[in-house]
Structure 1
Amino acid sequence: MKSISIRGALASLSLSMLLSSLGTSIANVGLPTLAAAFSASFQHVQWVVLSYLLAITALIVSVGRLGDIIGRRRLLLIGMGVFTAASVLCAVSSGLGLLIAARALQGIGAAIMMALTLALVSGAVPKAKLGSAMGLLGTMSAIGTSLGPTLGGFLLANFGWPAIFLLNVPLGILAMGLAQRFLPKDDPEKRADRAGFDVLGTLVLVLTLLAYALAMTLGRGSFAPLNLALLLVAVVGAGVFVFVERSVESPLVRLTMFRNVQLSAGFAMSLLVTTVVMATLVVGPFYLTGALALNAASVGLVMSTGPLVAALVGVPAGRWVDRLGAHRSGTLGLLAMLTGACLLPAVPTNFGAAGYIVPLAVMTAGYALFQAANNTAVLAAIAPQERGVVSGLLGLSRNLGLITGAGVMGAVFAFGTASHDVLQAPPEAIAQGMRLTFAVAAGLICIALAIGAVSKIVSRRLIASC
């Protein structure tokens, strides 16, 4: 019976992860259709995606902390309900403004699901199987990302744009039913201090993260005065947040937790690695189209290689973590990513699509292994009552890496092409931009490897001194 309960809990959490990742990728493919349906420009309709991502980025830490206070299972059920109800609102929206607002609400539900799925899995499975569970969740996230464009295209062609949102409704209801039935009930004695939800710190953090996310996403990679102003607001906001957290009695994020070397290293490595992953998504389509002269259908097939590899490798990667240990597995994953990042700029363009697919597959497999190892190591290093906020911070580091990658690595690529308009750049210029981008990516992975090695050494010395 215990085995059935664990499987039921994992099924619920897997659906939660699948839905939140599907919510991003399935909407991307619908943007042209939505632009036509609402007679809107691309600049306006892109907020259907941005509002969802911004809501997740701004709230993922706060909802993680709230789960620690009121109960993670309870809040996860609320998040699933919000996500499902918002999906209905998206489908029945009569105007673009209403759709964007409904997508922001859907993003709030997704933030809760992302933060608390990781927090709950560490309490729902035995510690010896935690790596395998993390690998499974990574697989479900990759399946959601890779399935979105294909499934979205089918639904758009046959049922119209509301179907891409209505799909979430039966899956959301199923996830809620499984969570209600199989997830262990919240233990009041293990919750964080109920009296101390940090409202001021939450507000400052939300505004800071929104400013940073907007600075990196507005203008599609070009840093105008507005982007610089928003970045300055984010820097000032970060300083204010640190001051607030040192002053309040029950902070949203205990700054002392960052004295845990393993925890701080895990967040930093996650941010660096996801910045690199985003480079493949930003640069890939331009390189495949401009340098290799592939058509749109071929580009889509090549780009689906990454999520497909992540989906296939996720569960085996989790088992490797259980057998080899988190640190060793994480290092192997980073080395695989470094190999792929070095191969991509080294392979001549006359190798065609294969010269891009093979390094991309190596890099993605390494990322799947690193992610399972890093999540396992971070969640194993904290007290149970802090799993919510730490899971939120893990999700935040991933989202900040993706946002930073879109902005910074896109700018590096544009600089490398030495062209004012990347779309008009000659093939050799685009290839040169790709080489520079992945040279920078390789450097970021080397920094992540160094952080991992230093954190291991420091952790051993601290254990020896005790």
Structure 2
Amino acid sequence: MGTTNVNRDQSLARTTGGASGFRWALLTLSLSMLLPALSTSIVNVGLPSMAEGFSASFQQVQWIVLAYLLAISSLIVGVGRLGDIAGRRRLLLVGIAIFTTATFLSGVAPTLWLLIAARASQGIGAASMMALSMAFVAETVPKPRIGRAMGLLGTMSAIGTALGPSLGGLLIAGFGWRAIFLVTAPLGLLTFVLARRYLPADGPTRKTGRLGFDYVGTSLLALTLGAYSLAVTLERGVFGPLSVALLLAAAVGLGLFVLAEKRVTSPLIRLKNFRDPVLSAGLGMSALVSTVMMTTLVVGPFHLSRALGIQPALIGLVMSAGPVVAALTGVPAGRLVDRLGTQRVVVFGLIGMVIGSISMSLVPISFGVAGYVISLVVITASYALFQTANNTTVMTGIRADQRGVISGMLNLSRNLGLLTGASVMGAVFAFASGATDITTALPDDVATGTRWAFALAATLVTVALGVAIGSSRSTAVRDQLNTP
């Protein structure tokens, strides 16, 4: 890190207006994490109303969700790198503006395809908000409090996920599906005003002319990630000819991307970064654990409705227990990280997830909703511990000019894990149940599918635990270096 950046980091408290400015800056970053998560979960509940309003099929309205997720997954790394070069505050403001404008346009879109286009634009803004908010933490938060700040951002993301279905249902019931966008837009405007007022100005060392931007690498990575995301979502885990072709295209694109990164002077991703065992382990564990978390969202509704016989009106309430627990655990998890160090909390969180997944796999149907909720609480609380500690590990001790792209990679690993989990774990659940149509499967068949899905989930978390233990020495060294 250059002298200018060191001086800049030391003067951030003054730039943001002291303790009060620091709190406002942290509130701004929290909103920047909450809104993308809210915009993901709030739309799903409105798909039936949108299909009816536009006289469209489910396959068509599904693109309202896919367009948003594809834009985030394809662009989040490139946006993070651009923030490193052009200035994170500047690009975050642009991202919030795009997100807010696209949210409003989604609420007034006269046709389905204009709504899909607006959602894709919303995803572009969300990619900027997600990548750069985490990168800003290392600049605005003192090292002894980074864990708590990361925990807060994780809490806000969990709150957005938990709030989406219930808030969306109330808004749709009272005002129609357009209200879910029109209510979110003012929050985006508020976030823009706060970011403009309280986030520290970009330093003089970030100039696009000096470092350059890897347009070829960014384009190749976006196409590769887009192909992979479509492959694991379009056919819902069936992996027919279209999905196989997209996976092959993604593999070819990845090879071309690696070749391109080796040839350019200022690559989008410095491949040598992956030699860092802490970074590689953190990204790999994030993807594995996110795959497992998606299992609770994919399998949960079917298990509750078919195996346990819960009424549809109560399923959302039971499902919200997970995000609520994650939200309540986030800040305490951050304090635990600041006190014990990241490595211990990562291992503790992963052990808890293994226990919760095994419990979910073995708990009998006779235990009812209580047995399911207890297992879910263990999984999600442990996930909050892991995520806070892992994010802190990855985002501390890295070069200032790499924070944006590393943050983008960390968010990307989580998104790819969620997409993969939705496809693969859903396919495992359906196959293990032995039913041709899971929506009409017998309770015992659904319970069998749940057992196998969470047995696989426990296996994946065990692999992540092995990775964590294998990288423990490198992580311990980083913790010592970052201890004030």
Alpha carbons 1:9, 1:183 under 8 Å: kept: yes
Aligned residue type for 2:296: T
Q: What letter is aligned with 1:425?
A: A
Separation of aligned partners in 2, 1:76 and 1:253: 20
Match of 1:140 in 2: 156
Query: Given the alignment of the two structures, is residue 238 of structure 1 paired with residue 254 of structure 2, yes or no?
Result: yes
Closer, same or farther: CA 458–83 of 1 in aligned 2, 3 Å: closer
Q: Which residue of structure 1 lines up, in the alignment, with residue 429 of structure 2?
A: 413
Q: SS state of the match for residue 352, structure 1?
A: helix
Q: Report if aligned partners of 1:27, 1:49 keep a CA contact under 8 Å in 2.
A: yes
Pair 1:223-2:239 in alignment:
yes
Structure 2: distance between partners of 1:205 and 1:190: 23
Give the aligned partner of residue 49 of structure 1.
65
Distance across 1 between alignment mates of 2:292 and 2:185: 33
**Is 1:69 equivalent to 2:69 in the alignment?**
no
1:388 is matched with 404
Distance, in Å, in 2 between the alignment partners of 1:193 and 1:94 is 41
2:458 to 421, 435, 442: 442
**Are residue 179 (structure 1) and residue 195 (structure 2) matched?**
yes
Aligned to 2:8: none
Shift of 1:163: 1.2
d(CA) in 2 for partners of 1:388 and 1:47? 28
1:132-182 Cα distance to aligned partner (Å, 9 max, x none): 000100110011011111111111111222211111221111111111111
2:314 aligned to which of 294, 298, 321: 298
- Normalised by the length of structure 1, the TM-score is 0.97
Structure-2 residue corresponding to 1:122: 138
Equivalence map 1:48-447=2 (5 Å): 48-189=64-205, 194-447=210-463
Q: Which amino acid aligns with 1:306?
A: G
C-alpha separation in 1, matches of 2:274 and 2:314: 45
> Offset of 1:462 from its aligned partner?
11
Aligned-pair distance for 1:189? 1.8
Q: Does structure 2 conserve the Cα–Cα contact (< 8 Å) formed by 1:215 and 1:226?
A: yes
- CA RMSD, Structure 1 to Structure 2 (Å): 1.5
Give deviations 1:184-209, integer Å, cap 9, x for gaps.
Answer: 11112256874420011111100000
Q: Which runs of 5+ in 1 are unaligned?
A: none
Residues 134 and 372 of structure 1 are in contact (CA less than 8 Å); yes or no, is this contact kept in structure 2? Answer: yes
Q: CA deviation at 1:299?
A: 1.2
Structure 1 residue 220: Cα displacement: 2.1
Task: List alignment gaps of at least 5 residues for structure 2.
Answer: 1-16
| Structure 1 residues 191 and 133: CA distance shift in structure 2, 3 A | farther
Paired letter, 1:200: V
Cα deviation, 1:88-142, whole Å, max 9, x if unaligned, reads 1111110000000000000000000000000011111101000000010011001
Query: 1:284, 1:462 → 2: CA distance?
Result: 38
Distance 1:384 1:137, change over 3 A: same
Q: Is the 8 A contact 1:191 1:385 kept in 2?
A: no
Displaced runs of 4 or more, over 2 A? 190-195, 457-464
Instruction: For residues 340-371 of structure 1, give each alpha carbon's deviation from its aligned partner in whole angstroms, at most 9, with x where no partner exists.
Output: 00101111100101110001001000001110
Secondary structure (helix, strand or coil) at the match of 2:471 reads: helix
Shift of 1:221: 2.2
Q: Determine if contact 2:397/2:478 at 8 Å carries over to the other structure.
A: no
How many pairs are equivalent?
Answer: 464
- Verify the 8 A CA contact 2:86 2:206 in the aligned structure 1: no
- What is the match of residue 54 of structure 2? 38
Q: Is the 8 A contact 2:229 2:419 kept in 1?
A: yes
Tell which deviates more after alignment, 133-142 or 418-427: 418-427
1:451 correspondence with 2:467: yes
Write out per-residue CA displacement over residues 290-343 of structure 1, whole angstroms, 9 at most, x where no aligned residue: 111111012111111101101111111111111111111111111111110010
Q: 1:145 to 1:388 in 2, by over 3 A?
A: same
Q: TM-score, normalised by structure 2?
A: 0.94
Deviations 1:61-91 (A, max 9, x none): 0000000010000000000000000011111
Deviation at 1:458, TM superposition (A): 5.1
Q: Is the 8 A contact 1:262 1:455 kept in 2?
A: yes
**Preserved CA contact (<8 Å) 2:96 2:188:** yes
